[in-house]
């Protein structure tokens, strides 16, 4: 009996529970369906589409080498998969479980459609360590604060060991599908031409990243992870986002390295896990603040300010370096993500959803749960949000985490000749660099305006209560 293996956010062969289960039933038909309509506004952004193109190419080659070519389809999975199951007489479709609201809705409808024909959709835990609905507080409620959540996960003990990749996959009869290029994934605007210098999409690239993030890097991780001018982080986020490596593989690899920084690193892995926990229980998170009173926050949308931020032309080198790194590489250092996000929502009073949307389109690791949870954290409206009075000073952040200016010199060449003492505040130099803008808002003024807006909201919330 043929079994369909539906690849989604698990584009790998090793530690793939859906693949492992499908192999127990006989011949396997691997399929990937590009279903943009179901995802709606949260269909893959431009940078993600670039990554997906090459990740599917790598997965297709790996599957073909094991005897089971990847079938590529485009359109409604809710319509295509039941027809495919009927054509090959498959009694089950195995897939890694998804957690996005639109995907949950589609899977429920697909389950009913298949059941009506005597077939099954069989979901597997593939992209997380634990299912969100199974983790509860002592009061039998979902976790809403990260620290207790992470402690609870650590208390559960070690996750199951990863499943090895199969050497051979018995293939079902071939079915008509599309060539990879016919999916139209590569964006027409070729801003991504520099991406291949920084990334190798696919399972082999993920394995190489994980191996390169060896014991020495892990040992230094707690002290060096906030230094954007150094290669001090794992770079695994896009590989995790597309499931080219599993959280279990990352967890056990970190443990095997035996370095002192493993606990700090695994806590970062669990922030991703926590984000999915929030998304499962609060599906409105990508669009609406988790704290309802923030729906009345006095944002001041201004296209000119948003564009300056997007283009890395704010006049603050650490902010501009981050935004330019994002545009050229599809990625930004995590410390800098917090700085640029704080600058947008607090100094400029632009809605956090505008920043979320820009990140979604330009990040190769654009992940709906982590992106939304992190933006809400910075904006102060999330479940486990930063205090409203925390307004990152972009000058002090640069001086603290990029003291010699290595990061900003790389991405903001206009200021590269300045001495360390003024590189993060070039307007104070005896000769400010030509061609580089003055700050679009003075830090003190921006901070005061943000604090006043947050304080007014808090007072209004108190009166309502």
Provide the token pair at 100.
């996005």
Which among 58, 76, 65 has a CA at the least distance from the CA of 84? 76
Give, for 120, the enclosing helix (H) or strand (E): strand 120-124
- From the list 131, 191, 230, 268, the catalytic residue is 268
- Known active-site residue 352: yes
- Known active-site residue 377: no
- From the list 131, 271, 399, 427, the catalytic residue is 271
- Known active-site residue 271: yes
Burial tier of 206 (Cβ tally within 10 Å: 0-12, 13-18, 19+)? buried
- From the list 51, 251, 360, 375, the catalytic residue is 375
- From the list 50, 352, 358, 360, the catalytic residue is 352
- Known active-site residue 273: no
- Known active-site residue 375: yes
- Known active-site residue 251: no
- From the list 334, 414, 427, 460, the catalytic residue is 334
- Cβ-based neighbours of 45, under 8 Å, separated by 6 or more: 360, 361, 362, 363, 366
Residues 20 and 15: their CA atoms lie apart, in Å, by 8
Q: What are phi and psi of 170, to 5 degrees?
A: -65, 125
Which among 194, 435, 450 has a CA at the least distance from the CA of 344? 450
Q: What are the CA-CA distances from residue 84 to residues 3, 32, 121, 330, 391 (Å)?
A: 11, 12, 13, 35, 53
Residues 446 and 391: their CA atoms lie apart, in Å, by 9
- Cβ-based neighbours of 44, under 8 Å, separated by 6 or more: 36, 52, 185, 366
Annotated catalytic sites, by residue?
268, 271, 299, 334, 352, 375
């Amino acid at each position: 009996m043929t079994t369909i293996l539906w690849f989604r956010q698990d584009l790998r062969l090793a530690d793939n529970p859906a693949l492992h289960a499908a192999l127990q039933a006989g011949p396997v038909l691997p399929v990937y369906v590009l279903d943009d309509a179901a995802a709606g506004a949260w269909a893959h952004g431009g940078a993600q589409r670039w990554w997906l193109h090459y990740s599917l190419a790598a997965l297709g080659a790996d599957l073909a080498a094991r005897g089971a070519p990847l079938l590529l389809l485009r359109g409604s999975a809710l319509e295509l998969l039941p027809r495919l199951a009927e054509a090959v007489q498959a009694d089950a479709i195995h897939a890694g479980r998804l957690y996005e609201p639109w995907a949950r809705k589609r899977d429920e409808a697909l389950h009913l459609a298949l059941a009506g024909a005597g077939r099954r959709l069989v979901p597997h835990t593939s992209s997380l360590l634990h299912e969100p609905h199974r983790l509860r507080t002592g009061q039998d409620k979902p976790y809403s604060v990260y620290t207790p959540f992470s402690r609870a996960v650590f208390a559960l003990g070690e996750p199951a060991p990863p499943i090895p990749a199969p050497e051979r996959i018995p293939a079902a009869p071939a079915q008509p599908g599309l060539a990879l290029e016919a999916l139209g994934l590569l964006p027409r605007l070729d801003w991504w031409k520099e991406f291949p210098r920084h990334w190798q999409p696919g399972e082999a690239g993920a394995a190489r990243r994980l191996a390169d993030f060896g014991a020495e890097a892990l040992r230094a991780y707690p002290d060096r992870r906030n230094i954007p001018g150094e290669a001090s982080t794992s770079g695994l986020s896009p590989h995790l986002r597309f499931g080219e490596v599993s959280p279990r593989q990352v967890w056990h690899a970190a443990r095997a390295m035996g370095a002192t920084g493993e606990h700090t690193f695994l806590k970062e892995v669990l922030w991703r896990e926590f984000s999915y926990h929030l998304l499962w229980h609060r599906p409105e998170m990508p669009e609406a603040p988790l704290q309802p009173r923030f729906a009345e926050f006095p944002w001041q949308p201004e296209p000119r300010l948003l564009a300056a931020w997007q283009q890395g032309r704010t006049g603050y080198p650490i902010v501009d370096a981050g935004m330019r790194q994002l545009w050229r590489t599809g990625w930004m250092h995590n410390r800098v993500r917090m700085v640029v996000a704080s600058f947008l929502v607090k100094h400029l009073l632009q809605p956090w959803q505008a920043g979320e949307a820009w990140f979604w389109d330009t990040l190769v690791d654009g992940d709906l749960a982590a992106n939304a949870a992190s933006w809400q954290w910075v904006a102060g409206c999330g479940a486990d949000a930063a205090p409203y009075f925390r307004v990152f000073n972009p000058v002090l952040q640069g001086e603290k985490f990029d003291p010699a200016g290595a990061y900003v010199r790389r991405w903001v060449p206009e200021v590269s000749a300045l001495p360390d003492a003024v590189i993060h505040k070039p307007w104070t130099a005896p000769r400010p660099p030509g061609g580089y803008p003055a700050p679009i808002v003075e830090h003190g003024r921006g901070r005061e305006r943000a604090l006043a807006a947050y304080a007014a909201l808090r007072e209004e919330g108190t009166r309502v209560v």
